[in-house]
């Protein structure tokens, strides 16, 4: 590759960066503020320092245009709601009284006011707060945050580009506010919203912005002609403004498809497109529309969602093709680096050779800079980097870690019969009811109980050698005894052991399966202050020994009521890990399913009659384009059935899903052939119950009546009212009563009160049922 002319020298840039800090300083500051230990000024100072350090790290690495506005105290979509003045009516008083407390009230709720609904950001494990809009919504511009963060960057002497959620995506992500008549479409508010964006753009230009990025990932999904027309109208309108910066419209996570010609023709100065494997079709589509003559193209050639090193030579080939399709080509990651950990270099417990296969945010930044350098100066300028990259790729491909002949032979021997229960649901449900003897509207929880400071300290003490294994395990047994005793006293019907031994619902299993690697510092934001450490799925998967049996058996020995065995399902094990990219996901899922099948069978053999296999990521991982979904759902549901189909008819299989839009996958939920499913429903007011009923879902279901992502305690009457709503869609003989999700993040006082109210609600509604 020869050098690009100096007049159009490529720039290295990113769309966003991890927010938390090297030691999760943001999490600690925000949670400290909630608990009254950190002042508002101290929280703002911590946030400002993190933003400063992030920008400086990027600039020092060679990023020539840093993003601003991507940082958030909780969620960037909630920040957009504040920017456009779309604060829900029930939160306006709190926001007016104290903007910071009001902001967090929208995110978490208070005892008196419910929070905004939360769901997954496209097909990632990041959660955003859903805007609530109605025909009476009035938008007003508030660019305070966006302008202030731009000025911070400019004061550092950096070239900066503010990043905003685009108006089309914002409205397409929104939902009708509670009480709004059915049929209202938030996109009808477009003409009201555009003047607000125009005002924000003018403010940013006045503050010194040369470019502003408008993120429109919703346009990579299937869109109607009316929605595409709306996108065209938006960018004709914004492009025609005279008082504005240059506009860069960004998309990511998939191919733009029919939206690409719309944006290519729009009077904006640049487009940012994803050119990784998931969106490779963008390359041919861009050529088909004649490229972007006279415009800037930001090429996302470094995968912003996975942690494997980039194939530099392959990316350079893509970039070489793109050079002829735009006036200027810059280099970036495919999306914000929010979705990956900060720095692989600090991982001391992973072999150095394997660390060389990994690229977290800092390593991806270096890859982007290297590619931009090659684009500007020719490949001769990066000979050393290319050589090292080629060697690292070969090292991974040739490693024995990635191939286990026994695992592959077992996977190849799987038959269709291995994925089917021995009896259909209509027959086995009678056996389960006779075996378990549960009342109508049985009560249970999703699995985890509060992870107290004492439990975290015990784990830390074990790692540090301050206590031995025997001392640690006695602490776990004591916690299980307390959890079982509380559930029995409260009157729950199906118990759980509380999962005190588990650090995370994926990591716990990954640490006991071959083929997985665990990180020590690989934190990624899931929502708000909830950070997870996704394990790295690097090789073939097997289970050397039982993982959960002894703790579940111990809990069952303490009670005459059934205690659920709790596992994380194969799709979620993949979705919430950084998964190998050198073989089809379906093959990796089958390997994980076979390992989990062994655990399910061992749980049953030990006397466990109810086994829950959680699949909260089934919807999250659904491809964004409808044309790609059937193939995904086929292998995903097969993997679940392969996990669970080896048990007797009277063993009851549960699954759990949360915080996603389930209407798109009701048939797939049916295809799982689970006996009982529990789902998040409290914030969405039992929407999923209605969706299951509309589908004719024939099995048992527990739509949640307790929103566990809010600190508020629902009253017994509130839970009872949700149950009555659920009964309008699901008959009593098939309706379960449970929280939305696990209780790991909650404190014991609110957990006790909430579960006591949940049981009281079930008893109240049970008494209202007609006598059989």
Residues 6+ apart with CB under 8 A from 108: 115, 528, 709, 710, 711
Which whole number is the average pLDDT over 507-533? 95
Residue 569 bridge partners (DSSP): none
Compute the C-alpha angle 694/700/704, nearest 5°.
80
Torsion sign, CA atoms 333, 334, 337, 341: negative
Give the model's pLDDT for residue 279: 73
**Mean pLDDT (the chain, rounded):** 95
The answer on pLDDT for 177 being more than 70 is: yes
What CA–CA distances, in Å, run from 260 to 245, 433, 680?
22, 54, 35
pTM: 0.90
* Full DSSP string of 183-195: T--GGGGHHHHHH
Please state whether beta strands 530-532 and 326-333 pair in parallel, antiparallel, or not at all (unpaired).
unpaired
Write down the number of H helices and E strands in the chain.
28, 21
CA distance 656 to 703: 10
> 123-136, pLDDT tens digit by residue?
999 999 999 999 99
Give the model's pLDDT for residue 757: 97
CA distance 326 to 457: 56
What CA–CA distances, in Å, run from 706 to 217, 419, 712?
31, 33, 9
CA distance 458 to 475: 8
The neighbour count for residue 464, using CB atoms within 10 Å, is: 8
Instruction: State the DSSP H helix or E strand holding residue 602, giving kind and residue range, or none if neither.
Output: helix 585-605
Give the model's pLDDT for residue 7: 45
Return the CA Rg of the chain. 26
The answer on pLDDT for 314 being more than 80 is: yes
The answer on pLDDT for 5 being more than 90 is: no
Give the model's pLDDT for residue 161: 98
709 included as an active-site residue? yes
Residues 6+ apart with CB under 8 A from 665: 618, 619, 622, 633
Which whole number is the average pLDDT over 718-726? 95
Residue 193: both structure tokens together: 């919203």
How many residues are present in the chain? Answer: 772
Provide the pLDDT confidence category of residue 3 given band limits of 50, 70 and 90: low
Residue 164 bridge partners (DSSP): 214
Give the model's pLDDT for residue 1: 59
Closest to 274 measured CA to CA, from 295, 305, 247? 305
Give the model's pLDDT for residue 6: 44
Percent of the chain at pLDDT > 70 equals 99
Give the model's pLDDT for residue 662: 80
Give the model's pLDDT for residue 81: 98
Give the model's pLDDT for residue 658: 82
Of 76, 497, 521, 709, catalytic: 709
What CA–CA distances, in Å, run from 474 to 467, 477, 505, 554, 672?
11, 5, 21, 12, 37
> 397-426, pLDDT tens digit by residue?
999 989 999 999 999 999 999 999 999 999
The answer on pLDDT for 220 being more than 80 is: yes
Phi and psi dihedrals of 531, rounded to 5? -115, 145
At residue 36, the 3 state secondary structure works out as coil
Q: Which one is predicted more confidently, 251 or 1?
A: 251
Residue pair 569/642 in contact (Cβ under 8 Å)? The answer is no
> 322-378, pLDDT tens digit by residue?
999 999 999 999 999 999 999 999 999 999 999 999 999 999 999 999 999 999 999
Give the model's pLDDT for residue 2: 53
Residues 6+ apart with CB under 8 A from 581: 277, 306, 308
Give the model's pLDDT for residue 453: 85
Give the model's pLDDT for residue 772: 63
Which whole number is the average pLDDT over 248-264? 97
Provide the pLDDT confidence category of residue 660 given band limits of 50, 70 and 90: low
> 436-450, pLDDT tens digit by residue?
999 999 999 999 999
Please state whether beta strands 326-333 and 292-302 pair in parallel, antiparallel, or not at all (unpaired).
parallel
Phi and psi dihedrals of 176, rounded to 5? -60, 135
Q: In what order do the strands lie in the sheet with 610-614?
A: 565-568, 610-614, 652-657, 676-679, 700-703
């Amino acid at each position: 590759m020869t050098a690009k002319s100096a007049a159009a020298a490529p720039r290295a840039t990113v769309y966003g960066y991890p927010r938390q800090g090297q030691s999760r300083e943001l999490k600690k500051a925000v949670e400290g503020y909630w608990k009254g230990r950190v002042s508002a000024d101290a929280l703002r100072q911590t946030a400002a320092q993190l933003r400063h350090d992030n920008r400086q790290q990027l600039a020092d690495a060679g990023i020539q245009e840093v993003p601003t506005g991507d940082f958030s105290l909780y969620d960037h979509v909630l920040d957009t709601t504040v920017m456009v003045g779309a604060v829900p009516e029930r939160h306006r008083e709190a926001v007016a009284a104290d903007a910071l407390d009001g902001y967090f009230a929208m995110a978490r709720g208070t005892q008196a006011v419910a929070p905004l609904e939360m769901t997954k950001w496209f097909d990632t494990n990041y959660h955003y707060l859903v805007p609530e809009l109605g025909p009476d919504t009035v938008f007003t511009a508030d660019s305070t945050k966006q302008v202030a963060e731009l000025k911070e960057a400019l004061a550092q002497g950096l070239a900066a580009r503010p990043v905003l959620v685009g108006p089309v995506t914002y409205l397409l992500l929104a939902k009708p506010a509670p009480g709004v008549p059915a049929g209202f479409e938030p996109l009808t508010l477009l003409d009201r919203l555009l003047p607000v964006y125009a005002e924000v753009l003018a403010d940013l230009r006045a503050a010194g912005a040369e470019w502003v990025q408008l993120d429109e990932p919703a346009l990579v999904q299937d869109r109607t002609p009316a929605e595409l027309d709306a996108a065209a109208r938006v960018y004709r309108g914004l492009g025609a403004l005279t008082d504005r910066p240059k506009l860069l419209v960004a998309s990511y996570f998939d191919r733009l498809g029919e939206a690409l010609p719309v944006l290519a023709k729009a009077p904006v100065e640049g487009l940012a497109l994803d050119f990784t494997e998931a969106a490779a079709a963008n390359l041919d589509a861009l050529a088909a529309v004649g490229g972007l003559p006279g415009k800037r193209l930001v090429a996302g050639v470094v995968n912003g969602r996975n942690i494997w090193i980039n194939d530099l030579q392959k990316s350079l080939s893509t970039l070489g093709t793109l050079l002829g399709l735009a006036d200027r080509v810059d280099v970036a990651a495919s999306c914000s680096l929010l979705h990956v950990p900060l720095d692989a270099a600090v991982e001391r417990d992973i072999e150095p050779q394997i660390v060389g296969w990994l690229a977290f945010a800092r390593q991806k930044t270096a890859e982007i800079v290297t590619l931009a350098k090659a684009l500007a100066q020719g490949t001769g300028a990066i000979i050393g980097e290319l050589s090292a990259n080629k060697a690292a790729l070969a090292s991974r491909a040739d490693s024995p870690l990635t191939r286990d002949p026994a695992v592959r032979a077992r996977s190849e021997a799987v038959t269709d019969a291995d994925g089917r229960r021995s009896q259909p649901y209509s027959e086995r449900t009678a056996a389960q009811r006779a075996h378990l003897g549960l009342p109508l509207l049985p009560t249970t929880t999703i699995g985890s109980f509060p992870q107290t400071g004492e439990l975290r300290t015990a784990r830390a003490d074990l790692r540090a050698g301050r206590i031995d294994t025997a001392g640690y395990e006695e602490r776990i047994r004591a916690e299980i005894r307390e959890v079982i005793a509380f559930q029995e006293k409260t009157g729950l019907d199906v118990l759980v052991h509380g999962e005190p031994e588990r650090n995370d619902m994926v990591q716990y299993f990954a640490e006991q399966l071959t083929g997985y690697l665990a990180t020590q510092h690989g934190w990624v934001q899931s929502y708000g202050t909830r950070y997870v450490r996704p394990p790295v799925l690097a090789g073939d998967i097997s289970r050397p020994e039982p993982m959960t049996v002894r703790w579940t058996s111990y809990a069952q020995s303490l009670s005459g009521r059934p205690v659920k065995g709790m596992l994380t399902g194969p799709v979620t094990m993949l979705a919430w890990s950084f998964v190998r990219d050198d073989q089809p996901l379906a093959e990796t899922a089958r390997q994980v399913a076979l390992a989990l099948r062994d655990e399910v069978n061992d749980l049953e053999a030990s006397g466990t009659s109810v086994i829950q296999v959680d699949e909260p990521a089934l919807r999250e991982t659904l491809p964004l384009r409808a044309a790609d979904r059937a193939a995904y759902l086929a292998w995903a549901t097969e993997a679940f059935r392969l996990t669970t189909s080896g048990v007797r008819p009277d063993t009851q299989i549960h699954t759990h899903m949360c915080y996603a839009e389930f209407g798109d996958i009701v048939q797939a939920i049916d295809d799982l052939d689970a006996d009982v499913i529990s789902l998040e429903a409290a914030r969405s007011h039992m929407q999923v119950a209605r969706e299951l009923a509309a589908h004719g879902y024939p099995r048992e279901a527990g739509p949640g009546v307790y929103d566990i992502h809010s600190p508020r305690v629902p009253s017994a009457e509130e839970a009872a009212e949700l149950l009555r709503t659920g009964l309008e869609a699901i008959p009593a003989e098939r309706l379960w009563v449970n929280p939305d999700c696990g209780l790991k993040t909650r404190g014991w006082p609110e957990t006790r009160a909430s579960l006591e109210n949940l049981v009281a609600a079930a008893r109240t509604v049970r008494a209202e049922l007609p006598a059989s």
